[in-house]
Amino acid sequence: MRDSHFHLNCLPRTQLPALIDQALARGCGGGLVAGIWNGDTQNLMEWARQPGAISPALRFLEANRPEALFENNGTFRVLLAHGLHPAWLARHCEREDGVPSEAKLEAAIVQFAELLNLHRKHIAALGEIGFDAHPHTLADAAGFGLSKPELLSLQVRAFEAVVTLAMRERLPVIVHSRGAWGLTLDRVLRVRAETGVGVMIHCYSGPAQDVHKLTDSGIFLSFGGVPTWRNARRVREAFLACPDEYLLVETDAPDLPLEFEDGTRPAHHEPAHLADVVARLATLRGVECEALAARSDANLLRYLSGK
């Protein structure tokens, strides 16, 4: 089984060999590594140029053969996404030195496009991109001199720029949404209708009533540990409403761990927990673990292949 969304270089680097070995031992053979910002992509590309330096089992794949992600040969195989995460935008576009935030974002977009051109053969998707108006994000933005309307305006600009590049390169996008569901719903439905770009909404947190609006448009919805939380009834309902054909499973490691049946959560979230996430979600859905994992893998390949 493959993780539809996780952050490889946000895991403790010194522990990566052990974490990768643990993931392989528990049946997770790799997955799609989501991007956060330009520097994030640069770091991952440095790792890709050093085969075996991070872990003897780690393999960075070229994007033109997404089916290679699902080959089982004892290695931890990853494809990369390149993103401009909306929650990170404020810290990179802080008003200082007389340079306005809009100018800083435009410079970041130019660098984003340059990195995409430079590393295109390794980039299988674009994102995370999207919209985040969570109170924590707004508090961070205020600390960097940005109001909520200013932050959302920058997020819209980043989203539009990345979608334009996705159209040019025929790449799918990974959408992050937190505290801005109305804006997200409008934008992703418009993207699908007007461009046909592939879309995954990762860690889906919208209402169940919107699930079929999205999947009827061919949008994939990814779920991780949140539906297993006792107080996450709305997300659980959305997970159960999602059609099999557009369902993906992720860990979002090291973020958003699952909750075990006894109400506890792992102290550290890692790709090996994909087995636990799949087991808990399969129980909620009333299906076998193997069936859910196989469905998610097949859908991930469809998403990456544009089918």
- In the numeric block, the tokens 């506890």 are attached to 264
Per-residue tokens: 22: 């643990």
* Chain segment 234-265, per-residue pLDDT in tens: 999 999 999 999 999 999 999 999 999 898 99
Q: What is the mean pLDDT of the chain?
A: 96
Q: Rounded to the nearest 5 degrees, what angle is found at the Cα of 254, between the Cα atoms of 37 and 289?
A: 120
- As to burial, measured by CB atoms within 10 angstroms (0-12 exposed, 13-18 middle, 19+ buried), residue 170 is exposed
Q: Which of 22-26, 53-57, 215-219, 250-254 has the lowest mean pLDDT?
A: 53-57
pLDDT at 98: 65
Range of the domain at 265: 3-305
Structural domain count of the chain: 1
Task: Evaluate the omega torsion of the peptide bond into residue 12 and state whether it is cis, within 30 degrees of 0.
Answer: no
* Chain segment 181-206, per-residue pLDDT in tens: 999 999 999 999 999 999 999 999 99
pTM of the prediction? 0.97
Q: What is the domain-level CATH number for residue 214?
A: 3.20.20.140
Q: Quick check: helix, strand or coil at residue 137?
A: helix
